[in-house]
Amino acid sequence: MAGAMRHNVISEANDLIELTNFPSFVTAMGKSGINEELPNFGGVYAGAGTHPGVKEAVEGSDAVMWIGNFPVCLDRVSKERPSAHFYILV
């Protein structure tokens, strides 16, 4: 979400999250960028230091829609075995 904030697409990201109702996560730099009161907000994803439930949800998904800059140090999502879920990570 930090990249979404930097590129001024926060409103669009929040609209997408509300419209799709997909589980949604933020990185530490994007904390508070999306509405964390939404029932589909899943938490903060921070690679190896992520809460186990959040880490499992993000890294076990079939697809991740990353909104904003894609930091290489958090690029573990594509290396994990997929499950039957789709998540938005902003």
Asked if residue 84 has pLDDT above 80, the reply is no
* Domains of the chain by residue range: 2-89
pTM value surpassing 0.75: no
What would the two tokens of residue 44 be?
Answer: 């903060």
Half-sphere exposure of residue 22: CA atoms within 13 angstroms, side-chain side: 24
pLDDT band at residue 83, thresholds of 50, 70 and 90?
Answer: very low
Per residue in 17-59, pLDDT tens?
999 999 999 888 878 888 899 999 999 998 888 999 999 998 8
Does residue 87 or residue 33 have the better pLDDT? 33
For domain 2-89, give the fold: Rossmann fold (3.40.50)
Instruction: State what percent of residues in the chain have pLDDT above 90.
Output: 31
